[in-house]
Amino acid sequence: MAFVAVEGIDGSGKSTVIGLLAEMLPRVYVTREPSGGPIGRLIREWALRGGSVDPHVDALLFAADRIEHYRREIEPKLRENFLVITERYIESSIAYQGAAGVPIDFILYINSLVPKPDLTVILDVDPQIAVERIARRGGVEKFEHATFLRRVREIYLRRAEEEGYPVVDASRPPDVVARDVIDIIRTRLGYGKSKR
C-alpha cells in the first residue's frame, strides 16, 4: 500500500491531523519517529533531553532509528496493505539536523538505506504560533524554540520547493487542515474514500 510522511515544525499540528486522518480514511496504520524501538527510546530519553550535544550524533541516531523503524514496523504494515502514515521521517532529519549545522548531503547519505515515502506533506505554520501552541500543551523540548524553528521551517519550505512536496497551511482549524491533506492523498495517490 502507500506510505505517507507528515512533516512540519513542532506544534504544527501533525499528531492532531494524523489522528483525524486515521478516523476519516480506511485501513490506516499510524506511526511516528522517534520510533517505539530501542533507538527511538534512546533518542527520546537521552538525546532530546539534552544528553546529545553534537548534532551529527543526533543525525546518526535518527537515521539508525529510521532504518530499524522501517524494517520492524513500516515495511510489514505496507505488506499487510495498510496506508502507513508516519509523523516525521527523512525530511525531519534534513530540517532539524540541517538547521543545527549538519551538511544536508551527509544527512541524505545516512538516510539512503530506507525508501522514500510515496508522499511527503509539509504542515506549515508560523513558528511563533507553533511555540504558543506547544507552551499551552506543556513540556517544552530541546528543539522547540522559535528562533531555531524558524531555521527549521526555512529548510522544510526550501526542500518542498525543490522536491515538489505539497505544503499545507496549518494555521487553520485542524479539520480544515485534515481535509486538505486527505484531498492531497487522494489526488496524488488515488487512495481511499472517506468513511464520513
Ligand X SMILES: Nc1ncnc2c1ncn2[C@@H]1O[C@H](COP(=O)(O)OP(=O)(O)OP(=O)(O)O)[C@@H](O)[C@H]1O
Chain residues in the site for Mg ion (CB under 5 A): 14-15
51 binds ligand X (CB under 6 A): no
User: Count of residues binding ligand X (CB under 6 A)?
Assistant: 15
CA-based nearest residue to 194, from 184, 178, 182, 180: 182
What lies within 8 Å, CB to CB, of 42 at 6+ separation is 61
Q: Which of residues 134-173 bind ligand X (CB under 6 A)?
A: 136-137, 170, 173
| Burial letters 44-63, b for 16+ CB under 10 A, else e | eeebbeeebeebbebbbbbb
The distance of closest approach from Cβ of residue 15 to Mg ion in the complex, given in angstroms and rounded to an integer, is 3
Q: Which of 23, 112, 174, 187 binds ligand X (CB under 6 A)?
A: 174
Coil vs helix vs strand at 168: strand
CB of 187 to Mg ion, least distance (A): 25
Please, which residue, 32 or 56, has the CB nearer to ligand X? 32
Which of 107, 177, 181, 182: binder of ligand X (CB under 6 A)? 177
- When the beta carbons of 102 and 177 are compared against ligand X, the nearer one is 177
Helices (H) and strands (E) in the chain, counts: 9, 5
The dihedral over CA atoms of 109, 115, 118, 120, expressed in degrees to the nearest 10, equals: -40
Binding site for ligand X (CB under 6 A): 8, 10-16, 133, 136-137, 170, 173-174, 177
